[in-house]
A and B are shown apart, each in its own frame.
Chain A
Amino acid sequence: DTAVSQTPKYLVTQMGNDKSIKCEQNLGHDTMYWYKQDSKKFLKIMFSYNNKELIINETVPNRFSPKSPDKAHLNLHINSLELGDSAVYFCASSQVTSGEQYFGPGTRLTVT
């Protein structure tokens, strides 16, 4: 009965590779997000989708491309991975009206 789930939990890959992280929510929420938590534990928004449409796109390299096939899923694809992409990536969701956000368990990405 997991509310927001992410796969994989851990991802170790080499520089230059392309990888994807998947996110699913079963809360019936309209809005989903991707956040990045850096090595100093600071959380920052990357993207937000509402009803499959991109509504927030922070200053993120265009190597990062979110894709929302439906309201319950928001995947993150990263091309040409770099060392600086190593971080924990969190998916979250919310109903637009209430705004309370629920987070997934995170995906720890390590680029070697």
Chain B
Amino acid sequence: KQEVTQIPAALSVPEGENLVLNCSFTDSAIYNLQWFRQDPGKGLTSLLLIQSSQREQTSGRLNASLDKSSGRSTLYIAASQPGDSATYLCAVRGGSEKLVFGKGTKLTVNP
């Protein structure tokens, strides 16, 4: 059974700092991995999708890496801004269609 863990559960940083969010999964036989952000009381916004054959994906200030063999992914956020404050969720997809989610990292960027 796939389990996804995200560390840390919460993170508070000053504006401008570069930061890394971590995600680990127990079964390396994944199809892809997706990073989302969730703002309070809102739905999920897809940030990046990494296919199992890829090592990283970039979108603006965000860079996600995937090391399937070790069961790890990181989300790097450069030059953080207060608008980046949200909960970041990592989810992996195995052979079935379902995503298995971690519990998220709550990020606060202080002005």
What is the chain B residue whose CB lies nearest that of A48?
A: B97
Chain B residues near A43 (CB-CB < 8 A): 44, 89, 91, 101
- Interface of chain B, main secondary structure: strand
Q: Is the CB of A48 within 8 A of B98?
A: yes
The answer to whether residues A105 and B42 also contact, given A41-B103, A100-B49 and a CB cut-off of 8 A, is: yes
Chain B residues near A106 (CB-CB < 8 A): 42-43
Within 8 A of A (CB), among B43-93: 43-46, 49, 87, 89, 91, 93
Chain B residues near A58 (CB-CB < 8 A): 98
Q: Tell me how far the C-beta of B51 lies from the nearest C-beta in chain A, rounded to whole angstroms.
A: 8
Q: Tell me how far the C-beta of A103 lies from the nearest C-beta in chain B, rounded to whole angstroms.
A: 4
Chain B residues near A42 (CB-CB < 8 A): 101, 103
Q: Is the CB of A45 within 8 A of B99?
A: yes
In the complex the two chains form, what is the Cα distance from A40 to B87 in whole Å? 13
Does B28 reach chain A (CB closer than 8 Å)? no
Does A94 reach chain B (CB closer than 8 Å)? yes
Chain A residues near B93 (CB-CB < 8 A): 99
Does A96 reach chain B (CB closer than 8 Å)? yes
Picked from A31, A41, A44, A101, the residue with its CB within 8 Å of the CB of B87 is A41
The answer to whether residues A56 and B34 also contact, given A42-B103, A105-B42, A106-B43 and a CB cut-off of 8 A, is: no
Q: Is the CB of B44 within 8 A of A90?
A: yes
Q: Tell me how far the C-beta of A22 lies from the nearest C-beta in chain B, rounded to whole angstroms.
A: 15
Give chain A's interface residues, CB within 8 Å of chain B: 4, 31, 33, 40-45, 48, 50, 55-56, 58, 90, 92, 94, 96, 98-106
Give chain B's interface residues, CB within 8 Å of chain A: 31-32, 34, 36, 42-46, 49, 87, 89, 91, 93, 96-101, 103-104
A–B Cβ pairs within 8 angstroms, 6 of them? A41-B103, A43-B101, A45-B99, A48-B96, A100-B34, A104-B43
